[in-house]
Structure 1
Amino acid sequence: MIRHLVLFKLNEGVERDDPRVVAGVKAFRALGGQIDELRFWECGWNVSDRPIAYDFAINSAVEDADALRRYLEHPAHQACAAQWREFATWVIADYEF
């Protein structure tokens, strides 16, 4: 299995209640039920106020590298990523477990 972690940082001046962010969160919350390759899916807002903390996180898992590739290339995933590019940056980590 491969764990796929993504941490998002909202761009300066962008708040959680921005309509683009609200739509982006809604899209990510629905994504788990749209892509067969996903074996585990959760996402949510960070609750820590530490200065180094990111704002939003996705924690997901897929079977293998091929499944990860299919997930990343899936049109629904691509659409979500395009939304978030408008108002956030992110870092990822993919590791086997």
Structure 2
Amino acid sequence: MIRHLVLFKLHEGIAKDDPRALAAAEGFVGLDKEIPVLLEWQTGWNFSPRDVAYDYAINSLVADEDALKAYATHPAHVAAAQRMLEIATLVVADFEV
């Protein structure tokens, strides 16, 4: 199993309540219903006030590297990620569990 973690940091001047941020986050809602290889799927806005904190997080689980590739290239994921990357940067961690 592979845990796939993604953290997004909004660009300077874009707040969590910005319509662009809200629309980008909405793009990730329900992806587990569209992408069968996702075994677990959690998303949400970070509430930590720390300066080092990222703004939005995705926590997912897939069976193996083939499933991770299928998820990464799925059109629904690609569209959601592109929307978020217009307003944020990201960091990713993939590890076996």
The normalised TM-score by structure 1 is 0.97
The equivalent residue for 1:13 is 13
Q: Distance in 2 between matches of 1:51 and 1:17?
A: 18
The equivalent residue for 1:86 is 86
Q: Would you identify which runs of 4 or more consecutive aligned residues in structure 1 move more than 6 Å?
A: none
**Could you list the runs of 5+ residues in structure 1 that have no partner in the other structure?**
none
Q: Distance in 1 between matches of 2:89 and 2:95?
A: 20
Q: Give 1:33 deviation, angstroms.
A: 1.4
Report which stretch shifted further, 20-29 or 68-77.
20-29
| 1:1-97 correspondence runs (5 A) | 1-97=1-97
Q: Distance in 1 between matches of 2:34 and 2:17?
A: 25
Q: Distance in 2 between matches of 1:39 and 1:20?
A: 28
1:29 counterpart SS class: coil
Percent identical = 55
1:21 counterpart SS class: helix
Q: Distance in 1 between matches of 2:86 and 2:56?
A: 15
- What one-letter code is carried by the residue in structure 1 that aligns with 2:6? V
2:14 counterpart SS class: coil
How many residues are aligned here?
A: 97
Q: Distance in 1 between matches of 2:49 and 2:43?
A: 18
